[in-house]
Amino acid sequence: MELSASQLAQVKAIINRMTPEEKAGQMILTDPRFLETPGDISRFNLGGIFVNGGGAPPPNTIDSWILLAEKMQHHGRKSSLAIPLLLGTDAVHGNNNFHGAVLFPHNIGLGAGNNPLLVEEISRITSLELAATGFNWNFAPCAAVVDDPRWGRTYECYSSDTGIVSQLAAAAVRGVQTNFGTGKARVLACAKHFIGDGGTAGGVDRGNTNIGLAELRARFLPPYEAAIAAGVGSIMLSYNQWNGTYCHGSRTLITDLLKNELGFKGLVVSDWDAIEYLAPKDQYIDAISISINAGLDMIMASRKYKTCHEGLLELMSKGDIPLSRINDAVERILTTKAALGLLDAQRPELPSKIMIGCKEHRQIARKAVQESLVLLKNDSILPLGSKFKQIHICGEFADDIGLQCGGWSISWQGSKGKITEGTTIMEGIRDQAPMGIEISYSKEATVADGTDLVIAVAGEYPYAEFHGDSQDLGFPQDQEAFLSSLIKFDIPVLLILITGRPLIITPNLNNVEAIMAAWLPGTEGAGIADVLFSQDIPTGRLPTNWPSVLEDYKNSK
Ligand code: GLC
């Protein structure tokens, strides 16, 4: 995010008159839930506020978010520097934070569709809906390359293919940092998590990525090179270790590789309380020293924001963190704020909130669902056309918007039920079925007499981050039972999978005539029916290897 000469001069002038207290404050980002009083924002000159999964303001509505942003900025402007705050959140598949926003397919589905222009448009829409609430920093895109689908964050990744991740992450950055006709981006993108989060042993979230530098460069670095080339303004560090060294404490990775070799000029932000892994609990000041000296610029601290401020001041006064490092961090933060127009005298108009979740945005989401679908097996079932006259849909995943949205949906972990507006898979099929075709539904695997096709929908329940780490890639027990029961049907069965990653489907492969992966489609489940009743078969391609047994199945067929 380039600055004009006058803007750069403005930033330098501000830095020259800043006190150590003000510099330390700008380097801290905290969660409003942990503020002892909102007045701490101005008292400590905090640089930013973030609302992460689970931190939504009550009631969780668009207006509550607008009010929260206004309140936080009000306190930001009362600080001695009166510099507006960065207001960050995870809008990772649309502005997924509140009721009424449109939720796009999670990245794994976008990777299956592999359409950079569509990914850019989705990110642009998300920025519009985010900026309408007053927030200006999206902790997206996830630029991870997934190695092992047992990782609970597989669905946040586009692919296991480094080239596809690079292309789509760059497209997402361009979309997030779109300028709204003002010549300036209004929302800061954040490529994450640097680096190797998708390559940990066993797919353990926040685990250890044991690979050589050459492999790290070849497999996990290109998406960041692409994101930087696309102008990404911030990069978030990863919780994982690389060969036993935490990314958050690695000067080799942050300063030598990311800043000096790749030439990244934006700001490097920590993950949530991630620096606490760097030192024992009672030596938080050491964690601060290690991370900032390694090249971290902004600390995402929840309950320890005041300790963080005190620690930075102490480390500055003792010279444990050179003033040049502090000034570099503060310059990167203020340069980023200037590039977003936050230092301009005239505060730009917010986009109107009435377009949040509007029909046009939902149409784009529906298109993304259509393109995300991957056909894993098809014994002359798809396209349905008008072949079948009485279709019975079964399975709780067929009629539950929460289940089809997955994690990072309204809440951090997501949840089943009517969590927001949109169309379920069953509603879409009911709406799209050609005249003369009868549709029935049951949660259990039963059918009405005369049914000539069963559409069964199964999957895995919502989760986020380490809560989703899997040992065996198995379905939940009740879903295994549901899948096994499909064998009893002596009529054709189309199985649709709602899942954030490949799951072992081997034992039930022979129970069904067709299988389609729909990943985590988001609020516009109707996109699935669009494809089912079209004349085409799904065009999505596997973004990551499905278990080899499927391959075995094909061979044995
Ligand atoms: C989480 C995630 C990160 C997210 C951050 C703020 O722990 O690792 O992806 O952006 O916290 O919510």
Which residue carries 């690389």 as its tokens? Answer: 242
| Rounded CA separation 153/407 (Å) | 10
Tell me the C-alpha to C-alpha distance, in Å, between residue 404 and each of 395, 527, 528.
12, 12, 11
Question: What is the pLDDT, as a whole number, of residue 472?
Answer: 87
The yes-or-no verdict on residue 553 having pLDDT over 70 is no
Using CA atoms, how far apart are residues 85 and 368, in angstroms rounded to an integer? Answer: 33
Least confident of 50-64, 71-85, 203-217: 50-64
Distances in Å between the Cα of 267 and the Cα atoms of 137, 236, 244, 557 are 12, 9, 25, 54
3-state helix, strand, coil in the chain (%, to 5): 45, 15, 45
Cα(356) to ligand 1 centroid in Å equals 23
CA of 272, closest atom in ligand 1: 11
Note the pLDDT of residue 548: 60
Read off the pLDDT of each residue in 222-247 and give the average, rounded to a whole number.
98
What single letter denotes the amino acid at residue 126?
T
Question: 129, 225, 271, 524: which one is catalytic?
Answer: 271
* Strands 234-237 and 190-194, sheet pairing: parallel
Class of domain 5-351: alpha beta
Residue carrying the six token digits 């709406």: 431
Task: State which ligand 1 atom lies nearest to the alpha carbon of 156.
Answer: 9
307 and 286 Cβ atoms separated by less than 8 Å? no
Put residue 410 in one of left, alpha, beta given phi > 0 → left and psi -120 to 50 → alpha.
Answer: left
DSSP helix/strand/coil, 551: helix
Ligand 1 atom 10: residue of nearest CA: 139
Of 185 and 550, more confident? 185
Q: Which residues line ligand 1 (CB under 6 A)?
A: 50, 52-53, 90, 139, 192, 271-272
Q: DSSP label at 142?
A: B
Residue having the nearest C-alpha atom to atom 8 of ligand 1? 271
HSE, CB side, 13 Å, CA atoms: give it for residue 369: 31
Catalytic residue among 22, 121, 276, 465: 465
More confident residue, 224 or 60: 224
Q: Residue 407 has what pLDDT?
A: 98
Which pLDDT value is given to residue 177? Answer: 97
**Rg of the Cα trace of the chain?**
24
**How do the domains of the chain map onto residue ranges?**
5-351, 374-538
Q: In angstroms, what CA-CA distances link 549 with 26, 98, 552, 554?
A: 53, 40, 5, 9
Q: Check residue 547 and give its pLDDT.
A: 77
Q: Could you give the CA distance from residue 403 to residue 406 in angstroms, rounded to a whole number? A: 6
Q: Is pLDDT of 157 > 90?
A: yes
pLDDT tens by residue, 294-309: 999 999 999 999 999 9
Q: What is the pLDDT confidence band of residue 97, given thresholds at 50, 70 and 90?
A: very high
CA distance 88 to 65: 12
Separation of CA 291 and ligand 1 centre (Å): 17
Q: Cβ(428)–Cβ(365) under 8 Å?
A: no
Contacts of 62 (CB under 8 A, 6+ apart): 98, 99, 100, 101, 132, 133, 353, 356
Instruction: Please check the confidence at residue 491 and state whether its pLDDT lies above 50.
Output: yes
Cis omega (within 30 of 0) for bond into 434: no
- What's the confidence (pLDDT) of residue 7? 86
Q: Tokens 């006064």 identify what position?
A: 317
Q: Which residue, by CA, sits nearest to atom 6 of ligand 1?
A: 52
- 135 C-alpha vs ligand 1 centroid, how far in Å? 16
Probe ligand 1: pick from 92, 93, 139, 193, max atoms within 8 Å of CB? Answer: 139
Residue 551's pLDDT is what? 41
- Neighbour-count burial of 309, counting CB atoms closer than 10 A to its CB (0-12 exposed, 13-18 middle, 19+ buried): buried
CA of 309 to the centre of ligand 1 (A): 21
Average pLDDT score over the chain:
95
Is 277 or 509 the better-scoring residue by pLDDT?
Answer: 277
Share of residues in the chain with pLDDT > 70 (%)? 98
Q: Which atom of ligand 1 is nearest to the CA of 53?
A: 12
Mean pLDDT, to the nearest integer, of 496-504?
Answer: 97
pLDDT of 289 higher than 50 = yes
Whether 63 sits among the annotated catalytic residues: the reply is no
pTM, entire model:
0.96
CATH superfamily of 374-538: Glycoside hydrolase family 3 C-terminal domain (3.40.50.1700)
Encoding tokens for residue 441?
Answer: 């539904």
- 5-351 shares its CATH topology with 374-538: no
Q: How far is the CA of 307 from the centre of ligand 1 (A)?
A: 21
Q: Tell me the pLDDT band of 54, cut-offs 50, 70 and 90.
A: confident
* 24's tokens: 């330390």
pLDDT for the residue numbered 495: 98
Q: Specify the range with the lowest mean pLDDT, choosing from 46-55, 109-118, 177-186, 358-367.
A: 177-186
- State the DSSP string of 380-444: S--S-TTS-SEEEEESGGGG-HHHHH-SSBSBSS--SS--SSSB-HHHHHHHHSPTT-EEEEESS
Contact present, 92 and 140 (Cβ < 8 Å): yes
Q: What is the pLDDT of residue 350?
A: 87
Q: What is the dihedral of CA 249, 255, 258, 259, to 10 degrees?
A: 150
SS3 450: coil
**271 given a catalytic annotation:** yes
